[in-house]
Structure 1
Amino acid sequence: MNADMKIEQLISIEAHLNELSDLLVQVVDEGASIGFLPPMKQSEAVDYWGSAMNPDLILYVAKIHGKIVGSVQLHLCSKQNGGHRAEIAKLMTHTGYRRNGIGRSLMLEAEQRAKQEGRTLLVLDTREGDPSNHLYTSLEYIQAGRIPEYAKSANGEFHPTIFYYKNTN
């Protein structure tokens, strides 16, 4: 892990809107499967981040020398029968900073917060074959299933996604 890295929770994104948008555009244009297709317009990223925050979302960012180089979202389930679970979503690491423990650090922070919130079941999904699959299994997430043709890529090809879960109690 990079000694200069700091993980912070963002309560408001206004002061970070441009950096978060730049990160989103960069990872999508490099092929990340996080709900968007390349090429991504800056205005699309700004629109996404402008409407992303809500009371059930906890957003963490990783910073190195004050620059945002990664983020992850923890979505707390607000349904009456789901107060024990949360979803981890949109784990992003800037391509210039990958393989330095940023994704792992963000995941561990999100998991710790989930425990503080009394969430004992975490779920997430990722495109089959992406490097993130190795990260999730190394963090003891269990594969729950595979859905073929779940996500479409920029070239129109469909890819399967893998759903994972982790009990934290």
Structure 2
Amino acid sequence: MTVKRLGAAELHAGADELAGLLTDTVDGGASIGFLAPLGHAAALAWWRERADEVAAGRHAVWTAHVDGRLLGTVALAFPDKPNSRHRAELVKLMVHRDGRGQGVGRTLLAAAETAAAAAGITLLHLDTETGSPAESLYLSAGWTRIGAIPDYAAAPSGELRPTTIFYKRLGALADGS
């Protein structure tokens, strides 16, 4: 598996393939902010907007390829407030249905955590659909569950679902020094 951090130009160039991943993820029932069916044009536009955010330094995006095929992605969103530059939000961990259960999500999660710590980020946070397979991934990777918010977001089907909030300390704070 090859994991790569994308610059804005690479994200623009790969937006069509990334849009395919996004539509597959939503069609597979993952609650990542979109309702089904998600059209390719809407997914493509969403990725192009992320390229602008990468160029502005507000996002970092990684992809995972197996045998040259895109099977997953993850991003970090960086706050723009001076009092929150020590933290980032882990967003849009997506794994193609063909790549699930092969360690793609875990590998992407580790890559984002490692890069965040190297950049001086000491705290990560995220939310994920309560009861989803992602919840187990985060728990097994050392994330701390804070709690759940009922009816937080609509699943791709439109049904309101709860979300679970997690955080993870990185670097010096994580090891107690």
Q: State the TM-score bracket (shorter-chain normalisation).
A: over 0.9
* Counterparts of 1:74 and 1:111, CA distance in 2: 9
The equivalent residue for 2:98 is 96
Which contiguous aligned blocks of 4+ residues in structure 1 show a shift greater than 6 angstroms? none
Stretches of structure 1 that go unaligned for 5 or more consecutive residues are none
* Counterparts of 2:20 and 2:30, CA distance in 1: 14
Residue 39 (str. 1) matches residue 37 (str. 2): yes
Give the partner amino acid of 2:158: G
* Counterparts of 1:57 and 1:49, CA distance in 2: 12
Same amino acid, percent of matched pairs: 39
Offset of residue 75 of structure 1 = 1.2
RMSD of aligned residue pairs (Cα, Å):
1.0
CA contact (8 A) 2:93 2:105 kept: yes
The equivalent residue for 1:6 is 2
1:100-111 map, 5 Å: 100-111=102-113
CA contact (8 A) 2:34 2:156 kept: no
* Counterparts of 1:86 and 1:154, CA distance in 2: 25
The equivalent residue for 2:76 is 74
Quick one: structure 1 residues 156 and 34, their matched pair in 2 at CA, closer, same or farther if it must change by over 3 Å? closer
Q: Which moved more, 1:124-133 or 1:150-159?
A: 150-159
User: How far does the alpha carbon of each residue in 1:81-121 deviate from its partner, in whole angstroms, 9 at most, with x for none?
Assistant: 10110100000010011111110000000001110111110
Q: Which moved more, 1:72-81 or 1:103-112?
A: 72-81
Quick one: structure 1 residues 93 and 155, their matched pair in 2 at CA, closer, same or farther if it must change by over 3 Å? closer
1:1-169 map, 5 Å: 5-12=1-8, 13-53=11-51, 54=53, 55-168=57-170, 169=173
User: How far does the alpha carbon of each residue in 1:124-159 deviate from its partner, in whole angstroms, 9 at most, with x for none?
Assistant: 000001000000000111111210000113443211
* Counterparts of 1:67 and 1:100, CA distance in 2: 14
Q: TM-score, structure 2 length as denominator? A: 0.90
Quick one: structure 1 residues 33 and 155, their matched pair in 2 at CA, closer, same or farther if it must change by over 3 Å? closer
CA contact (8 A) 2:79 2:88 kept: yes
Matched positions, count? 165
Q: TM-score, structure 1 length as denominator? A: 0.94
Give the partner amino acid of 1:45: A
Give the partner amino acid of 1:149: D
Q: Hey, which of these two has a bigger chunk of helix by percent?
A: 2
